Structure 1
Amino acid sequence: MTGRSGDWDSVGWAGWENHADVKRCLDEGADPENWRGGRPLHRAAAFGSPEVVAELVRRVADVDASQGGGTALWEAVLCDRPDNARVLAAAGADPWRTVAGGWSPGRLSLAGPTPDLFVVPEGERGLSEAERATAQEARRLVTALGREHFDGMGLACVAGIDAEEAIRRLEATPVAGEELAELVESPYAYDLDEEMLVVGVTTVPGGCVVTQPWGYGPSQPGVLERLSAGTVCYGLYANPKSGNQGSITRDGVTEAWDLHPGGGPNPDDTPEQVLASYLYHYNAVAYACAFVGLRPTDSRSVDGRADVWVELPDRDYW
């Protein structure tokens, strides 16, 4: 990609809905192939209006040019922008070009809210029964949990054990009454070390959730190691500064960390990982629950209405 991407300076991160502004920049010499080191068409496909996408389509050399392994059409499908996807397909973008994990934009769209987005050509593989069931459960789970989750919250999603067993493993003691009410109402009025020791625990279908609406307590390695004996945990901290941070702990051993649940798929992801990243795009809480097979029926396990509140022993959890 070449050109003077600086000519795009008047179009910020959220400016891709404004057709007049984008057209003016292009008319004044902005490079249609380069915006801050990336492709403007990809950005518009994910966050812009159909009019902006159409404007860029007329000016780029290849509507199916790749960025990070994906096409602009792939971005439009990932971000549930069906109108943008239709503009791109009408301009010649290929819905059935494989992008990541064996998935194409067209096949991935079959698992989303607009399964009729593209005409499926004869002989093209659709969704398997397992993939269809995964998509159906994702829609149910996202609806049950909702999307109103708070920056700064921490979770540990644990497979196969209930709240009582989680409390036993953590050697925690119940907290209740006026002290708990005050902490839940104004957690930042307390000493950091003190507030990080109080967590909520809720039994849900498939296991349990350990939660802390105000901090990273449940996602600490020492907590996850104890909870994961003989099973698997997904830890999540919604870091207000750097975004969602995930980790996987299995039978006391940390398998992966510095993950980004709710983000888009990576080019080298497995087919299952690509599908999960799409179904739970921008919903890290649902992703964490789904990863370990939890099936909560409402949001109380993650929104501060835990079954029981407990205090952890004062020890080093790092």
Structure 2
Amino acid sequence: MTGGDADGWAGMDHWDWNDHEDVRRRLDAGADPERWGAGGSRPLHRAAVFGSPEVVAELARRVADVDALEDGATALWEAVVAGRSENARALAAAGADPGWIGYGDWTPGRLSLAGPEPHLFPLAEDQPRLTEAERAVAEEGRRLIAALGDIYYDGLGLACVAGIDAEEAIRRLEATPADAELTAELLEDPYAYDPDETLRIIGVTTVPGGCVVTQPWGYGPSMPGVHTRLSAGTVSYGLYANPKSGNQGSIHRDGVCEGWDLHPGGGPDAEEGPADVLFSYVYCYQAVAYSLAYAGLRPTDARAVIGPPDHWVELPDRDYWAT
């Protein structure tokens, strides 16, 4: 993504906000410290998320208001949400306010207490800390993200189902054992097959809190007809890590779709309430962990996601886009 010529930031991409010398040269040549590209974007917000502390400090010195808003948030808020602690420190040193009230009535300072560096900012004695319930959300998030590790999940499909085990999921789906030889060949090279030939082959694994239906190569588990059956009397969160358009989430509860084309791991939204803002922050950039945690699942490793699952099964031939 690049900015336009008029503001002096032409050709800038994500990584260029780390180049202090280039950013300073542009600013000295007349680049606008208050505007980047179209749509009201701000250079300081870009640098807060993608840049270096030196670039953040340079821009912070040149703007009229270090706490100016973009999409309803300050640059400090964006740095905290993105986990850019050094940038957050640079902004605070430049006068940015950790007590600014942001999404869901959270402040950057209080939200950071649930992050990887809970002592990021000094908080006054009268400022509220995390409640016990909020601390539990943060601690479980850190545990789950660490348990999953650094997994490759592009192209993955998941259904994360609360309260039922693998055997009950298989019963609800009326699935049968998959052909062992075909499954072995598929695991060797899933993209050697036409996707339509393999969408009905899925893995199912029991985990603490429920079960996971997985397909490392496709969107099979995220099809609506799968979730309407799995979510009877419970909740199911679906994920398809679309290589072309990014992570796509869905929520089904008791057979009814409550949300579609969601963005798990995308960070807090201005319309979310306090609990949802915290949850979205804890699992920011962690789409798989977000999906598992939404359904209350607590796996101890990544096996249920990337395999080998407890069972390889094949779904019956039916229209899974008709709910």
User: For the Cα contact (< 8 Å) 1:211–1:218, is it kept in 2?
Assistant: yes
- Which secondary structure does the structure 2 equivalent of 1:147 belong to? coil
**Comparing 261-270 with 204-213, which one deviates more in the overlay?**
261-270
Q: Give, in angstroms, the shift of residue 176 of structure 1.
A: 4.6
Looking at structure 1, the residues matched to 200 and 6 of structure 2 have their Cα atoms a distance apart, in angstroms, of 49
Instruction: State the distance in 1 between where 2:227 and 2:44 align.
Output: 42
Deviation at 1:25, TM superposition (A): 1.3
Alignment of 1:211-250 (within 5 A): 211-250=214-253
Moved segments of 4+, more than 2 Å: 3-6
1:291 paired to 2:291: no
Q: Provide the rounded CA distance (Å) in 2 between the counterparts of 1:5 and 1:148.
A: 41
Secondary structure of 1:64's counterpart equals coil
1:78-137: CA deviation from partner (whole Å, max 9, x where unpaired): 111111111111111110111000111000000111111111112111100000011000
Q: 1:12: which partner in 2? A: 13
Other structure's SS at 2:296 match? coil
Letter in 1 for 2:20: H
Structure 1 residues 25-63: Cα deviation after superposition (integer angstroms, max 9, x where no partner): 111111111112311101101111010001101110100
Equivalents in 2 of 1:106, 1:10: separation in Å?
34
CA contact (8 A) 1:230 1:251 kept: yes
* Pairs within 5 Å for 1:71-82: 71-82=74-85
What one-letter code is carried by the residue in structure 1 that aligns with 2:261?
Answer: D
Say if 1:4 and 1:122 are closer, same or farther in 2 by CA, change over 3 A: farther
Q: Partners in 2 of 1:292 and 1:129 — Cα distance?
A: 20
* 1:281 aligned onto 2:294: no
Q: Which runs of 5+ in 2 are unaligned?
A: none
Deviation of 1:5 (Å): 4.5
Q: Structure 2 length normalisation: TM-score?
A: 0.95
Q: Structure 1: give runs of 5+ residues left out of the alignment.
A: none
Q: Is the Cα contact below 8 Å between 2:33 and 2:42 reproduced in 1?
A: yes
Amino acid paired to 2:260: W
3-state SS of 1:208 partner:
strand
Q: 2:127 aligns with which of 124, 127, 138?
A: 124
Could you tell me which of 93, 114, 117 is aligned with 1:114?
117
Find 1:41's aligned residue among 40, 44, 59.
44
Secondary structure at the counterpart of residue 249 of structure 1: strand
Per the normalisation by structure 1, the TM-score is 0.97
- Written as runs of structure 1 = structure 2, the 5 A alignment for 1:113-192 is 113-192=116-195
1:197 matched to 2:195? The reply is no
Tell me the amino acid that sits aligned with residue 93 of structure 2: A
Q: 1:284 to 1:59 in 2, by over 3 A?
A: same
Q: Which moved more, 1:8-17 or 1:227-236?
A: 8-17
Whole-angstrom CA distance in 2 between matches of 1:299 and 1:249: 23
How far residue 284 of structure 1 moved from its aligned partner, in angstroms, is 0.4
Structure-2 residue corresponding to 1:267: 270
Residue deviations 1:9-35 (CA, integer Å, cap 9, x gap): 132122111101111111111111111
Shift of 1:240: 0.7
Preserved CA contact (<8 Å) 2:7 2:35: no
Give the residue type in structure 2 aligned to 1:18.
Answer: D
Contact 2:161 2:211 in 1 (8 A): yes
DSSP 3-state at the match of 1:16? helix
Compared CA separation, residues 216 and 75, structure 1 to 2 (3 A): same
- Larger deviation: 196-205 or 175-184? 175-184
- Determine which of 35, 41, 66 is the counterpart of 2:69: 66
Q: Is contact 2:267–2:284 with CA below 8 Å preserved after alignment? A: yes
Structure-1 residue corresponding to 2:261? 258
Asked whether the equivalents of residues 4 and 30 of structure 1 are also in contact (C-alpha less than 8 Å), the reply is no
Contact 1:11 1:22 in 2 (8 A): no
Shift in Å, 1:278:
0.9
1:211 partner SS: strand
Task: State the 1:4 CA deviation.
Answer: 6.0
RMSD: 1.2
Cα distance between partner residues in 2 of 1:88 and 1:268: 25
C-alpha contact 2:160 2:297 (8 A) present in aligned 1: yes
Q: How many corresponding residue pairs?
A: 316
* More displaced 10-residue stretch of structure 1: 68-77 or 140-149: 140-149
